[in-house]
Structure 1
């Protein structure tokens, strides 16, 4: 009977939309994914349509200086990637991923509608003087920022759920579906960058979902501070399945032994009729919390990478504004449009990585994924450094050309084609395929089964903090470099500034971040479900990369 059930139903705890065990033949797998991918694809199409040109909008239509415009963009971008914590909490604890996505999509659409009115309806659009200097009223500014932050809130309900919801469609206990799950994350990121015009209101007709549960380990461990830990006598359910709905049993690990106290069964627990979950937890509950704690250093290492990524919507655009954007005698390409080369880079790299690079590396390493997840993210961190170096070299050449020709006016265009920016965009796209896609898969894979939305949201907050770090860096750099009446690195007139120094600073921070990442990755222990070996773990050598 058990073998028949294994053939008919998924074995990883997923259930269908009605709460019943998910039937393999009727739910999930690739049949459910087109709708999920289309939803994310259209949401990202709207997001990038705004964000890539937002810094110029803040300058030209809201009358802001370069530094202020860049900081407003990164503050908004950071909020877009911190609100996923709200959406993840609602998805894991109350609504589930399906209804969280549907609900927050409505908020997103309201924000888009208001932003459209704020930029097109007479009375909401700021009046500009003949010289192009704009002075928006408080009401006009409020309309723009309310719209932007409604969009940020809408994003918060969608982003942490879609990748996890899509990955839930593949059963980890089925060899074929497990391989498909790994491939899904590559094509998920591919679909984001394609931006196909598919209706964003449709979701999967027969999805699988993972139910959620609260954690009580910290309270139980704290209440047993004086209790010694015996690793061989920790409490766990006797059943084959975990006592936590939606979670598989996890094997005990030696890290963070303090938390093991929560699973120590005292005499009082044994004599009690039904011990309180706030006093006694299972090994699986403890290991789930350990999994989250182990993720935090890896999470922190993505912040600097996200800061580098954020320059595409700020400093790259400002740099492009000073270059020759002409394409023939009558047409000029907007500097914000060059982000298309980041998109094209991702579109090119995803199939190359998935269909060529992974099989080639797999033949050498013997690992199903080719690279381990941590190796994949580390490669992206290294690649991102070269994007900053490319931007810095271009800026150095631009400043030398300015000095040679005396082009120090704020509106002087340097006779260097804007297409020399293409390499820095293309390199960031390559880095994304390694680091961002690796993060998506890593945080989903290593998260507790019933906390996957929350951990996906946690991975997204690196982008939020990366944007906030960019704001902090720009603010500090502007303050320090303008002392004594100096122009500073990032003045309104970049022709008399030193934007190259800012790019060198980010390259140096990226190098330092990678060095720290190597230490973190060597310490990390992969989560291991009972009876399974993690595909990235090294046999007989622990679970370290």
Structure 2
């Protein structure tokens, strides 16, 4: 058995190799595209982020370009009434906020963020092409109005248009929940310098994304950065944790402690925006049905000057007040945990 003096060089060499390894490789478990440990100097950091932010910029520009003009397109090109157009828009927006739950589960539990963004960006691109074709090819859109006569869209024309529109909603579901997280994955939490950069990236991701130039959606922007990316392996389904929260809230429903309400409220925000959009569509349907009984014009006719849009706005204001009261009650049940 060798002496301590004889073994010291080997120990020092081992410690030196370990220290060098911690400097060269990331310490947060990230890997490269092939699943191997990644070198810090060759991957991640800000050099990988422009590709990710470029993809997000293109997606946001495409989404808001559609959303801001969708009502006008439905009423002027597909010749829908105001109520039908508004209902279709809110339903589509609700779907756009609901599908990120699908993308988040796939990214965290099965595919990882890179492949989720890649797959859903492809779906998004197909949806954009379909939507473009439906608006460009005369056979896929209704004829123009002649005087006061506007031919209605055929079922086939509707099918093509809404197929493309909801492909975009599905594609957005894989991009929205993953882009910021994938950008954060490019910074090593175990490295103090990269940890500071990570916070900067998360704070400025949206502002920076909208300042980037107008790149074509799903061009080589995102995929060309593949060799530079750092990947985190999927870590299990969040559905299990969500179910555990729901079960815990149900079991504690009789307790006076605010824990039960806190647990329930923590599970609701994921669905709040999507359900709010679907609820808006439902309200439009109900209001139209009730106010057009007996052949009446209704509150929201195609000619808004003949209706009572002011009554509808008062209804929305009342619902907003009710929403504020519910929020206040939930907030009063919440007690912030003290941190040392």
Range into which the TM-score falls when normalised by the shorter chain = 0.7 to 0.9
Contact 1:16–1:208 (CA under 8 A) maintained in structure 2: yes
Instruction: Describe the shift of the 1:90–1:148 C-alpha distance in structure 2 as closer, same or farther (beyond 3 A).
Output: same
Give me the whole-angstrom Cα distance separating, in 1, the residues matched to 2:94 and 2:40.
39
Q: Secondary structure at the match of 1:50?
A: helix
Name the residue aligned to 2:317: 504
Deviation sequence 1:187-240 (CA, Å, 0-9, x none): 222245446312443223311121113369979x99xxxxxxxxxxxxxxxxxx
Name the residue aligned to 2:57: 41
Unmatched runs of 5 consecutive residues or more in structure 2? 1-14, 252-260
Contact 1:67–1:490 (CA under 8 A) maintained in structure 2: yes
More helix by share: 2
Q: What is the CA-CA distance between 1:510 and the residue it aligns to? A: 4.3
Name the residue aligned to 2:285: 475
Structure 1 residues 88-107: aligned runs within 5 Å: 88-107=104-123
Structure 1 residues 243-392: aligned runs within 5 Å: 297-298=265-266, 300-301=268-269
2:196 to 175, 179, 182: 179
Instruction: Describe the shift of the 1:256–1:129 C-alpha distance in structure 2 as closer, same or farther (beyond 3 A).
Output: closer
Contact 1:489–1:502 (CA under 8 A) maintained in structure 2: no
Contact 2:291–2:298 (CA under 8 A) maintained in structure 1: yes
Instruction: Describe the shift of the 1:85–1:106 C-alpha distance in structure 2 as closer, same or farther (beyond 3 A).
Output: same
Name the residue aligned to 1:51: 67
Q: Secondary structure at the match of 1:470?
A: helix
Please say which of residues 177-186 and 145-154 is displaced more in the overlay: 177-186
2:185 to 168, 173, 191: 168
Give me the whole-angstrom Cα distance separating, in 2, the residues matched to 1:494 and 1:192.
38
Instruction: Describe the shift of the 1:466–1:4 C-alpha distance in structure 2 as closer, same or farther (beyond 3 A).
Output: farther
Give me the whole-angstrom Cα distance separating, in 1, the residues matched to 2:208 and 2:329.
32
Q: Does 1:490 align with 2:300?
A: yes
Q: Secondary structure at the match of 1:17?
A: coil
Q: Does 1:84 align with 2:100?
A: yes
Contact 1:84–1:159 (CA under 8 A) maintained in structure 2: yes
Give me the whole-angstrom Cα distance separating, in 1, the residues matched to 2:145 and 2:45.
57
Give me the whole-angstrom Cα distance separating, in 2, the residues matched to 1:13 and 1:54.
44
Contact 1:294–1:524 (CA under 8 A) maintained in structure 2: no
Q: What is the CA-CA distance between 1:118 and the residue it aligns to? A: 0.9
Q: What is the CA-CA distance between 1:167 and the residue it aligns to? A: 1.4
Name the residue aligned to 1:518: 331
The normalised TM-score by structure 2 is: 0.76
Deviation sequence 1:7-36 (CA, Å, 0-9, x none): 333333322222233333222222211110
Give me the whole-angstrom Cα distance separating, in 2, the residues matched to 1:191 and 1:475.
40
Contact 1:477–1:489 (CA under 8 A) maintained in structure 2: yes
Instruction: Describe the shift of the 1:44–1:125 C-alpha distance in structure 2 as closer, same or farther (beyond 3 A).
Output: same
Give me the whole-angstrom Cα distance separating, in 1, the residues matched to 2:295 and 2:65.
38
Q: What is the CA-CA distance between 1:103 and the residue it aligns to? A: 2.2
Find runs of 4+ consecutive structure 1 residues off by over 6 angstroms.
Answer: 216-219, 293-296
Unmatched runs of 5 consecutive residues or more in structure 1? 223-254, 260-292, 302-458, 526-537, 541-545
Deviation sequence 1:357-416 (CA, Å, 0-9, x none): xxxxxxxxxxxxxxxxxxxxxxxxxxxxxxxxxxxxxxxxxxxxxxxxxxxxxxxxxxxx
Q: What is the CA-CA distance between 1:3 and the residue it aligns to? A: 4.8
Name the residue aligned to 2:257: none
Instruction: Describe the shift of the 1:504–1:34 C-alpha distance in structure 2 as closer, same or farther (beyond 3 A).
Output: same
1:156 to 149, 173, 183: 173
Give me the whole-angstrom Cα distance separating, in 2, the residues matched to 1:501 and 1:128.
36
Q: What is the CA-CA distance between 1:89 and the residue it aligns to? A: 3.1
Q: Does 1:136 align with 2:192?
A: no
Contact 2:109–2:238 (CA under 8 A) maintained in structure 1: no
The normalised TM-score by structure 1 is: 0.49
Q: Does 1:211 align with 2:227?
A: no
Q: Secondary structure at the match of 2:49?
A: helix
Instruction: Describe the shift of the 1:22–1:477 C-alpha distance in structure 2 as closer, same or farther (beyond 3 A).
Output: farther
Q: What is the CA-CA distance between 1:121 and the residue it aligns to? A: 0.8
Q: What is the CA-CA distance between 1:70 and the residue it aligns to? A: 0.7
Q: What is the CA-CA distance between 1:465 and the residue it aligns to? A: 2.3
Tell me the matched-pair count: 303
Q: Secondary structure at the match of 2:40?
A: coil
Give me the whole-angstrom Cα distance separating, in 1, the residues matched to 2:140 and 2:278.
28
Q: What is the CA-CA distance between 1:135 and the residue it aligns to? A: 0.7
Give me the whole-angstrom Cα distance separating, in 1, the residues matched to 2:151 and 2:211.
35
